[in-house]
Amino acid sequence: MKPTSLIDSASGWREPILGSDKLSHEIFSFLESRFLFGPGETLTLDCGGGGGGRGRGRVRILSIDGGGGGGELAAAALARLEARLRELSGNPSARIVDFFDLAAGSGAGAVLAAALFTRGSVSAADAAAALALVRSDDDRRTRKKTRTRSWIFGRRSRGGVVGALDRVFGEATMRDAAKPLLIPCYDAATGAPYVFSRADAVEGDAYDFFVRDVCAAAYGSAAAAVSVDGATRVLPAASATAMASPAAAAVTHVLHNKQEFPFVAGVGDLLVVSIGNGGGSGGGAAASEAAEELLRIAGATQADMVDQALGFAFGESRSASYVRIQGDGVTAGRTAEAMLAERSVESVLFRGRRMTETTNGERLDWAAGELAKEEERRRRSKTPTVLICVVGDHRLDGVRRLLGFSMIIL
């Protein structure tokens, strides 16, 4: 019998008939909800492709993988996406943060996500420069060369990744993020995943961390991350290995955070752009080549599993609500631009993977069109889609606790 490839041709994977697809979803919906959202909780997922979520608008999520990759594919994808958004909106100074409601990142993706959402009006090119600075200082640290100067941020490094992150983010904390931001890692102290989030930081100083420490934790270069008041201490393992794809954490956060996303009833109300790592070897703490390769494979496998589970969770709305940008994982030594020119790979739980007729770049262009349409719909609508807590002077925190947080309507 002729063996079949894990990545089949576009014509080789025929979509099942509608009744079979619905039956499969009903059979595995309970298992899927437990897989994504944990035991002891029943969650109804609205998988309608064009249901009520389109009338209310969709929450736009940006997820950037770590997974041992160096972030080259993500940086190139963000640059193309931003350029297309500027073209569609007619605003030459438009930024990624203007078109997304939440960002999540792990590993190198955490640096990109934090740069885009924390440093104000930072472009995709500036975020890529920040990541390049961190990676260059990581390489210098590995080669025992710790003194360097940033050509974009202009402060002298204390040495290594931590010093580079200090130059990029300074004294900014998770509370200072312009919009919801999630960065996961594995807490060795509790033996469980830990997610740094703006939502928790807004609630109190015990959950507010310096962004530089959070990114160092995600990058695997921090011994510990301590909250601004010293009450909470996290002993991190690199999120690029522990949670290579933060997309599931981001979706879970939005579905359960009714304070900021009150109108989200299910995944049909979401638009997720998830950018993979391209399958290359990447940053993090130095280790032997064999250990690095093992960690890369583990991270890539975990990211693929999350991608397949999310593809299945979105059901019939998958093609309209979930965009995954990922290298094919087969060809080595490709540039990020070459990976954007490749045909995109689509993965669904229990069905495997297939190559589509569109390229990764074309998928990004389509996603930019959907993001621009949603932004235009919000400008015309009188009904808010997202309510973001506003945090200003800490001296007003007591008043906010009595009157409730101020909100930004998006």
Which residues carry out catalysis? 106
Q: Strand 192-197 vs strand 181-187: parallel, antiparallel, or unpaired? A: antiparallel
CA–CA separation, 398 vs 387, rounded Å? 21
Query: Which of 242, 23, 209 shows the shortest CA–CA distance to 118?
Result: 209
CA–CA separation, 249 vs 164, rounded Å? 27
- Which residue type is seen at 140? R
Q: Strand 102-105 vs strand 387-390: parallel, antiparallel, or unpaired? A: unpaired
Q: 41: which residues sit within 8 A by CB, 6+ positions away?
A: 33
Q: What interhelical angle do 72-89 and 124-142 show, nearest 10?
A: 170
CA–CA separation, 270 vs 46, rounded Å? 10
- Residue 104's H or E segment, with its range, is strand 102-105
The CA-based dihedral angle spanning residues 251, 198, 76, 342, taken in that order and rounded to the nearest 10 degrees? -10
CA–CA separation, 396 vs 378, rounded Å? 30
Is the distance from CB of 37 to CB of 242 less than 8 angstroms?
Answer: no
Strand partners for 193: 186
CA–CA separation, 107 vs 32, rounded Å? 26
- Which residue type is seen at 154? G
SS3 311: helix
Query: Which of 373, 405, 368, 374 shows the shortest CA–CA distance to 388?
Result: 405
Query: Which of 127, 124, 141, 138 shows the shortest CA–CA distance to 82?
Result: 124
Separation of first and last alpha carbons in the chain: 56
Residue 401 DSSP code: H
* Tokens describing residue 172: 């900014």
CA–CA separation, 162 vs 216, rounded Å? 6
* Tokens describing residue 399: 């008043």
